[in-house]
């Protein structure tokens, strides 16, 4: 992702289609007119220079660069369990360049590490880094939260507990469930009018262990 950003500043003087032009025979007068025009031009160029050097222009430039360095594609490669935490390994594309990264502890105090923050060809500033981390973590968390609807179990089995009685239940491959609500760390579903909660592995690996029924 090599960023090439060009700014074109120009001054345009426009006159009407029909003007009455009177030529002066006074050479000094015509020279004065020329000098006045040059002075106006120099003054305008100085003002443009001041704008380019101003903080507001620098802020605009940084915004445009940040917008040009957002993610085009994001893939989740795997999720590894680290004691009670889960780390999400991803790859993503920015301006046709592929990068790798890891979200540490996706369920709690998440942080993001990636080689992209060491790429000298990327316009690096604090705003961009914070925004990129936020976008990646937010989208992965959203992916982990399945939409309401019917799903079929692909895994051999899962074990969960009834929300009402606390009774353990084992669901085997091919079982169908209805997801009612998803949160950032759990999924509420029902089976035969009994509600259950999916936590930990059942929550994290839901998208691999279940498929949506259309």
Confirm if 106 and 166 have CB atoms less than 8 A apart.
no
Owning domain of residue 119: 73-143
Q: Is 4 exposed, middle or buried (0-12, 13-18, 19+ CB in 10 A)?
A: exposed
The pLDDT mean for the chain works out to 77
In a domain, 195, yes or no: yes
Tokens of 211: 């498929």
Same domain, 54 and 77: no
Average of per-residue pLDDT across 186-214:
95
Average of per-residue pLDDT across 129-154:
93
Sign, CA dihedral 19-23-24-28, equals positive
22-57 pLDDT per residue, tens: 344 444 444 444 455 555 555 555 454 554 454 443
Same domain, 123 and 169: no
DSSP state of 117: G
Same domain, 78 and 136: yes
pLDDT bucket at 4, cuts 50 / 70 / 90: very low
CATH number at residue 153: 2.30.30
Q: How many domains does the chain have?
A: 3
Query: With 60 as the cut, is the pLDDT of residue 143 above it?
Result: yes
Tokens of 45: 């160029």
Q: What is the pLDDT of residue 127?
A: 85
Same domain, 54 and 82: no
Distances (CA, A) of 27 to 17, 33, 34: 27, 10, 11
User: Which pTM does this prediction carry?
Assistant: 0.67
89-107 pLDDT per residue, tens: 999 998 888 999 999 999 9
Same domain, 82 and 127: yes
């Amino acid at each position: 992702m090599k960023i090439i950003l060009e700014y074109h500043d120009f001054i345009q003087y426009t006159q009407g289609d029909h003007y009455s032009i009177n030529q002066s025979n006074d050479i000094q007068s015509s020279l004065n007119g020329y000098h006045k025009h040059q002075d106006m031009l120099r003054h305008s160029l100085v003002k443009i220079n001041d704008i380019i050097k101003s903080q507001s222009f620098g802020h605009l430039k940084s915004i445009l660069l940040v917008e040009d360095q957002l993610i085009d594609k994001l893939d989740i490669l795997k999720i590894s369990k680290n004691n009670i935490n889960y780390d999400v390994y991803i790859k993503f594309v920015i301006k046709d360049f592929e990068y790798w990264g890891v979200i540490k502890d996706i369920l709690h105090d998440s942080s993001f590490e990636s080689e992209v923050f060491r790429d000298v060809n990327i316009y690096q500033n604090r705003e961009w880094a914070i925004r990129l981390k936020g976008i990646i973590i937010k989208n992965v968390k959203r992916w982990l939260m399945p939409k309401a609807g019917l799903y079929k179990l692909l895994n051999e089995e899962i074990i969960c507990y009834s929300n009402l009685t606390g009774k353990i239940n084992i669901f085997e491959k091919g079982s169908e469930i209805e997801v009612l609500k998803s949160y950032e760390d759990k999924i509420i579903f029902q089976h035969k009018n009994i509600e259950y909660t999916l936590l930990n592995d059942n929550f994290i690996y839901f998208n691999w262990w279940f498929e949506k029924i259309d």
